[in-house]
A and B are shown apart, each in its own frame.
Chain A
Amino acid sequence: MIQEELIKIEKGTEPKQKIIEALLSKDTSVTISEDSLDHEMILNMGPQHPATHGVLRVLLRLDGEMIVNAECELGYLHRGYEKLAENMTFHEYIPHTDRLDYISPIANNVAYCMSVEKLMHVEIPRRAQLIRVICCELARISSHLMAAGAMGMDVGALTVFVWTMREREKLYDIFDILTGARFTVSYMRIGGMAQDITPECITMIKTFLDGLAEATKEIAAMLHKNRIFIERCEGIGIMPPEEAIDVGWTGPCLRASGIPYDLRRDQPYLVYPELDFKVITRTECDALARYFVRFDEVAESVKIIRQCLDKLQPGPIFADDAKIVLPRKEEVYSSMEELINDFVLVNFGQAPPRGESYFAIEGSKGELGWYLISDGTGQPWRSKIRSPSFVNLQGLSRILEGAMISDVVAIIGSLDPIMGEADK
């Protein structure tokens, strides 16, 4: 009887019926109270809700104030990047990777370029590897600061958000000097990167890292003894480790469930095997644990960047392979061979050998990788993005079960989804 009343749908909104039916037919572990005197209702959250971090839409089935079950709807930001990738060369696709996880665009560039390099069996020089690690870790700091600030804002601590944005503003200045753009950087190239890191930029990074220690202390003082923040985030959104593995979680979310899964350790790439850092894990499995994992990882990233800056030696930043690496512009205008190579690479693209390859890096949200299939031409036959936000969101309806309606924003904030990446 309740179900019939719930599915009373206004004219013109018929397509929504399918998602409501899916929501109502879903199994739940929550027991609904016997006398459902209008206690039960369906609440629509998003896609325009400020706490959903983009355009995530969640349908909540409520019993009083408790969530019986939830159903996510994705696709409001779907731009078909996998279809686009099949119709352009490998180089042309790099700017599109910026728009996936727009909080840490450099990490996406690195993941994509390294996937293509694995497909083509290219090894990049040591200086380029170190710069890539520095970039990845700067992106991780940027992303984790955003996650911490946004989660604080979701539960009412607005000051922290402003403070983390202040630090990220300094990061954007660094990206501006390093890459030439603040937000959508497109810095990496297949076989290297667009330009070398300058001494001025290294000084800026060092100054930023010194200031960041102070800023994280301030944020910790603001949040970690804040009773409202702790009590709102503690014990909600609990994900047991077995279920987290089953759903396919990766990254800080999985590490907060006590599983030390970090691709930087488990399948080392670039120069990570030489570096000294800890894999942060927590065993509480709740939203607060996920926040703390991110917060502690910022300090580890700082450690990694400092080690990399010490190791940085002068050297080439491009792999030595004219068939794959784009030549420098000054060479193109002065030398015939480079002009021909540039023409071929821009018009037809690199032609990797036929085959398939999968490569993933530890992005800020989790395992970020590309499964590429090549048919021997300049365009990939298939380019599948393994986006961590998409998979992490899959566990959302599970951890929302039994939560209170006011905790929804904190739980979504603790997952740190970026819809540009989840919707592809």
Chain B
Amino acid sequence: MFNYKKKCQEWEEFTEIYCLESMINFDTIHGEFPSITILDINGTSCLLIIRDELPLIARTLKEKFGFTHFIDALGVDRNEHKMRFEFIYNLRNPETKERIFLKVRCDERDPHIPSVVSIWSGANWHEREAFDMYGIIFDGHPDPRRMYLPDEFQYYPLRKDFPLMGIEGSIPLPISEDMKVRMN
């Protein structure tokens, strides 16, 4: 089985804080939201924000800074950290062709993140996928169902404590009553 505890011992913070040269005026964002931390993800700027400010910052980014193209979004399990789950938005400005990442973190005991489907409708399936895989609940999501796995599945498979081989009996096979009689 996957030895995640050993992996986590050497773990530190992934990203360091840099000041990037970018077409976005980060001073403007900083002035409006002083709590933002700016990170560098291998050459692309990233805003680490507080969960409660997400809807406001998302709307500002879309309307003021032109980040209308919703490329991707992903959940991350940062195991054994204080803020266990992370959700990363991958956005693009179609005019300046610039990209930006947006990071939100939430606690394991309170895995709630406000939904941004009302701002970018493209976030819909990505948020459902993150709910399916990590159990992050998106408040205000219009269609909070699982994306890939059956609705009766009870686990969140991309969490690091879910074993790679799966859990026996977690998905019941579709055997009808007739079949059971026949098999006996």
Interface residues, chain A, with chain B CB atoms under 8 Å away: 12, 15, 18-19, 22, 26, 74-75, 78, 80, 82-84, 86-87, 118-119, 242-243, 245-248, 250, 259, 261, 266-267, 354-358, 367, 369, 371, 373, 375-377, 381-382, 384, 386, 390-391, 394, 423-424
Q: Does B147 lie within 8 Å of A74, measured CB to CB?
A: yes
| Distance A245 CA – B92 CA, assembled complex (angstroms) | 10
Residue B76 interfacial (CB < 8 Å):
yes
| A248-B70, A386-B71 known; A373 vs B76 contact (CB < 8 Å) | yes
Whether A358 touches B44, Cβ cut-off 8 Å, given contacts A87-B2, A87-B164, A377-B7, is yes
Chain B interface category by residue count: 35 or more
Which residue of A26, A74, A242, A354 contacts B148 across the interface (Cβ within 8 Å)? A74
Q: Mark B86-118, 1 if CB is under 8 A from A, else 0.
A: 001010001001000100000000000000000
> For the complex, is B158 an interface residue (Cβ under 8 Å from A)?
yes
Is B22 part of the binding interface, using a Cβ–Cβ cutoff of 8 Å? Answer: no
Partner of B122, one of A82, A83, A246, A424: A246
Contact with A along B68-96 (1 / 0, CB 8 A): 11111010110000000000101000100
Contacts of A80 in B (CB 8 A): 157
Are A382 and B76 touching (Cβ within 8 A)?
yes
The stretch among B8-16, B30-38, B50-58 that forms the contact with chain A is B8-16
Residues of B within 8 A of A78 (CB): 148-149
Query: Are the C-beta atoms of B69 and A75 separated by less than 8 Å?
Result: no
Are A245's CB and B94's CB within 8 A?
yes
Contacts of B72 in A (CB 8 A): 248, 369, 371, 384, 386, 391
Chain B facing A: main interface SS: loop
A376 neighbours in B (Cβ, 8 Å)? 10
CB contact between A75 and one of B12, B94, B149, B176 (< 8 Å): that residue: B149
Cβ-defined partner of B145 (8 Å) among A19, A118, A250, A371: A19
Most B Cβ at <10 Å: residue of A12, A19, A267, A384: A384
Does B27 sit at the interface, judged by CB under 8 A?
no
Q: Known A-B contacts: A78-B149, A87-B164, A246-B120. Give 8 more (CB < 8 A).
A: A22-B143, A78-B148, A87-B2, A245-B69, A248-B70, A371-B88, A373-B76, A394-B124
Q: Who on chain A is nearest to B120 by CB?
A: A246
Residues of B within 8 A of A119 (CB): 42
B147 and A75 form a contact (CB under 8 A) = yes
